[in-house]
Amino acid sequence: MSIIENPSQTEGPKPRTITSESRFSDRVFRVVVSSGGFISLVVLGLISLFLLYEGLSIFRSEGLGFVTSFEWIAESIENGTEASYGIGAMLYGTLVTGFIGLFFGFPLALGAALFLSYYAPEWMKKPMVLVVDVMAAIPSLVFGLWGYYVLMPQAEEWAKLINKYFGFIPIFSMPGDYFTRSPFIAGLVLAIMIIPIITSISREVFAQTPLDRIQAAYALGATRWSMIRAVVIPYGKGGVIGGAMLGLGRAIGETVAVYTVLNLVYDIRPEILLSAGGSVASLIVTKFGEATAPELKALMAAGFVLFVVTLAVNFLANLIINRTVRKG
Amino acid sequence: MSTVTDNKPQDPMVPNELSVPKPIKPWKATPKQLLPDFLGAISAVIASLMVVAVSPMAGALGFILTFIVVSVVTAASISWIRQDRKAAANSVSTIVIYLLAAFVLLPVVSIIFEIIRKGAPGLSIGMFFDDMSVTSSDAPLNEGGLLHALVGSLYVVALATIVSIPIGILTALYLTEVKGKAEGTVRFFVQAMSGVPSIVAGLFIYAVWMITLGGTYSTAAGSLSLSILMIPTVARTAEEVLKLIPTDLREAGLALGATQWKTVTLVVIPAARSGLITAVILGTARVAGETAPLLLTIGGNDAMNWNPFSGNNSALPFYVWKNFGIGTEIGADRAWAGIFVLMIVIMVFFTLARVLGNKKG
């Protein structure tokens, strides 16, 4: 604090105090705003704390078996069965459906992003962006029911065709005749659901491509495609991969849509066209209704695992995106 | 479109303001240059029709698949013959990217079409004035209604909005105005929070509200679980909006001797008002259709319940979920009608956000 003193002691207005210290109202403002800003951190911390605390007894009794074993048997006093909780099959199923979703969704989303950035005529851009935004606003319940009632009858035929022509490959083989409610169909629904996020991130990334390099490529006689291959893709690769990972995170955490479409089976099956899959999030919804107290703890533990997995995927995705797309 | 012939010769020395020459676009293809592409497209259609007619592939799916293959081959060969391999790659990729974009449109169109087609039979004016408290689930469609679900939905979302607005906007202000030491960390965690699966938000509130605090299913619990999903959306959109406010405005405020508090409340926030409202509405649109967290927190009800802290309540997604779960034809009709109403609610929020977002100032 520095005070400038007036050397002449004559009458007149007293010089005001000049200070670099922030005023009281500003200090309050900063404290309030900062504490508001930290709430997201606190909430994330609390989520992991509470779920971990609730699921702790399960983690203790099951150990590593919780994420590796396939059995989910609730305790039953009348039958004398001992409880055993394992989400191995569900975790595997979550990843399988997630990657199937990415396999179909990523090329579509990338194509849509390239189309919007470099191909679409001006009049087509706005409606197309609107459609992608609407897609992001459709609730997952609607996707699930559409998937069940509209997509599934179609996709069942596609699955049969795939099985007919590629059935010799183990993952497309079919031990019975159960083509509905398979990871393949659930993956298709997820693919549609993750398109908007991958498309919007990819567009954001493509928009950052330096214009001079694009024009340099054209000036050297590049066609549109060779320009994209030589400039846009190398420049935006990281961000697009990050967007795909964000989409994967979405797919992993998706609950209602997968629950509606997928048939949960506590087993790891390699055949993706078979009506047997797994999903941690759907398991929680399925078992929550009639869960006993210990089973509820197991569901909390499953929720914790799901939370950690999605958080890890999201962290990684955001790291990649933030590094590629210079924000601000 | 304009071609070279439109460009009438003019004396460049005499500037004539009335007749500005039309801009010429020499890079645009002339009809003559487009002719081979056009013929190629037609021949691709004819060829694929012929292939479908003689081969075992049948139906629309067979035609589409054949058409994709044939058109790619036709386009590639035309460009290769006329120019070179690079041109062939270019036209193939153009077709593929147009197709991919079209495939993205397809499900949205189908979803909206099906919602209208399947939702319409269950719709009636009466259902907006009645609930299911005295109607059994297998009663005909003209009995009962979804008033309780609609009101419950708006109630839950409104409470969630009240919780999310201050937190979301404070977060955005922290990121743009205070710019504290932890700016990067906070931004990173807000991004991470928007990836929290909805079911986990529901489980968390269940663990806190029901298990730890001993509460019951209630509207408030549902709202809290929704606000976990809403806060990051509000915060991120609001941050984008606040970033657009010119720094000059802030500096002008400070230069006039205002405190930062006054500058933010009297200059920055009013300048960003419509954008901030958009941020909030986008957040509500995002959570209005959430189902999973509500399944774990509000319990479901067949009548209205205005007490937020005790007693079950319903919401549109819950209503839809429940009626599908019944598994009867009438249940499905009710559910599709519920989806129809839900989508209209969401689209109203969505349109509001867009209209306000496009308006400046």
The closest CB to that of A33, out of B170, B207, B324, belongs to B170
Chain B residues inside the 8 Å CB shell of A310 = 195-197, 200
CA distance A283 to chain B (A): 11
Interface test with A, best of B196, B209, B250 (most A CBs within 10 A): B196
Say how far apart CA A152 and CA A164 lie, in whole Å. 18
Q: Which of residues 179-218 of A touch B (CB under 8 A)?
A: 192, 195, 199
CA quadruple A76, A78, A79, A80: dihedral sign: positive
Question: Residue B103, SS3?
Answer: helix
Say how far apart CA B222 and CA B153 lie, in whole Å. 10
Say how far apart CA B334 and CA B123 lie, in whole Å. 8
Query: Cβ of A37 and B171 within 8 Å?
Result: yes
Note whether A266 and A49 are within 8 A (CB).
no
pLDDT at B225: 95
Distance of CA A162 to the CA centre of its chain: 28
Chain B residues inside the 8 Å CB shell of A151 = 107
Structure tokens at B240: 């984008």
Give the lowest-confidence range in A174-183, A262-271, A316-325, B128-137.
Answer: B128-137
ipTM: 0.88
pLDDT at B117: 92
Nearest CA in chain A to B260: A26
Note whether B302 and B319 are within 8 A (CB).
no
Beta strands A84-85 and A72-73 are: antiparallel
Structure tokens at A47: 């989520």
Model confidence over B32-78: pLDDT tens digits? 777 777 887 788 778 777 777 776 666 677 777 777 888 888 888 88
The residue with greater pLDDT, A7 or B284, is B284
Q: Comparing C-alpha atoms, which of B162, B295, B157 is closest to residue B226?
A: B157
Residue A1 scores a pLDDT above 50: no
Q: Which of residues 103-162 of A touch B (CB under 8 A)?
A: 107-112, 114-116, 119-120, 128, 131-135, 137-143, 145-146, 149-151, 157-158
Question: Residue A65, SS3?
Answer: helix
CA distance A57 to chain B (A): 14
Show the 3-state SS of B41-84.
HHHHHHHHHHHHHHCCCCHHHHHHHHHHHHHHHHHHHHHHHHCC
Query: Cβ of B261 and A22 within 8 Å?
Result: no
Chain B residues inside the 8 Å CB shell of A119 = 94, 97-98, 101
Note whether B116 and B336 are within 8 A (CB).
no
The closest CB to that of B178, out of A30, A120, A158, belongs to A30
> Over its length of 361 residues, how does chain B's per-residue pLDDT go in tens digits?
444 444 455 555 555 556 777 777 777 777 777 777 788 778 877 877 777 777 666 667 777 777 788 888 888 888 888 878 888 888 889 889 998 999 999 999 999 999 999 888 778 887 787 777 777 777 777 777 888 899 999 999 999 999 999 999 999 999 998 887 888 889 989 988 998 999 999 999 999 998 889 888 999 999 999 999 999 999 999 999 999 999 999 999 989 988 889 999 999 999 999 889 999 998 998 899 999 999 999 888 888 888 888 888 889 999 999 888 888 888 888 899 999 999 999 999 999 988 887 765 4
Apex B220 CA angle, B217 and B225, nearest 5: 90
Structure tokens at A210: 């330096």
What is the model's pTM?
Answer: 0.87
Looking at residue B38, its amino acid is F
How many percent of chain B have pLDDT more than 70? 92
Interface test with A, best of B96, B163, B177, B261 (most A CBs within 10 A): B261
